[in-house]
Amino acid sequence: MISPEAFNKSRILCDTDVVSFIFNGHTYAEYFKPYLTNKTLAISFMSIAEIYYGAYHGNWGTSKLLKLQNHLKNYVVLPYDFSLCLKWADVRKELEKDRYNIGHSDCWIAASALLYDCALATNNSRHYLHVKDLSLISPGLT
């Protein structure tokens, strides 16, 4: 087990679920907080889409959407570009070669973490376990 103090990545990409736990004050967020303290926190463009889809689907009102918008200012949004598209294709190809499946959204998030040299904080480690060279922060793994 790697203690938060010994974890050496300075940038942490927060998966959609972790951002949601923190935003909602969920008890699951407590596990991640020591790993996120004094780090540069990032979020994938894909997570922004997933989070806002959930908000729109849940018919959030203006006030809660504004709180979300303000919360997301705590993260650097990692953009998509040509390099990220190539990394996504490489990650997906490597996983398929080894007969592992990854969802398109999770592949974008994994590719973002790899391209921008971030550890990935997630409660869904099973989605990412087989991604080579990806540093994971997840209950039971770290």
On whether residue 4 sits in a domain, the answer given is: no
- According to the model, what pLDDT value does residue 7 have? 65
How far apart (Å, rounded) are the C-alpha atoms in residues 142 and 43?
A: 20
Return the C-alpha torsion angle 46, 52, 58, 63, nearest 10: 150
On whether residue 25 sits in a domain, the answer given is: yes
Closest by CA to 122, choosing from 38, 66, 44, is 44
Total tally of structural domains belonging to the chain? 1
How far apart (Å, rounded) are the C-alpha atoms in residues 93 and 22?
A: 32
pLDDT in tens, 112-134: 999 999 999 999 999 999 999 99
Domain with 54 in it: 11-137
Closest by CA to 110, choosing from 91, 138, 82, is 91
- pTM score, two decimals? 0.92
- According to the model, what pLDDT value does residue 1 have? 43
On whether residue 52 sits in a domain, the answer given is: yes
pLDDT in tens, 65-98: 999 999 999 999 999 999 999 999 999 999 999 9
Q: Does the CA dihedral 116-117-119-125 come out positive or negative?
A: positive
- Domain harbouring 20, CATH code: 3.40.50.1010
Residue 142 has pLDDT above 80, yes or no: no
On whether residue 73 sits in a domain, the answer given is: yes
- According to the model, what pLDDT value does residue 3 have? 58
How far apart (Å, rounded) are the C-alpha atoms in residues 124 and 78?
A: 20
Q: Which residues contact 76 (CB under 8 A, 6 or more apart)?
A: 40, 41, 42, 43
Question: Is the separation of the CB atoms in 128 and 122 below 8 Å?
Answer: yes
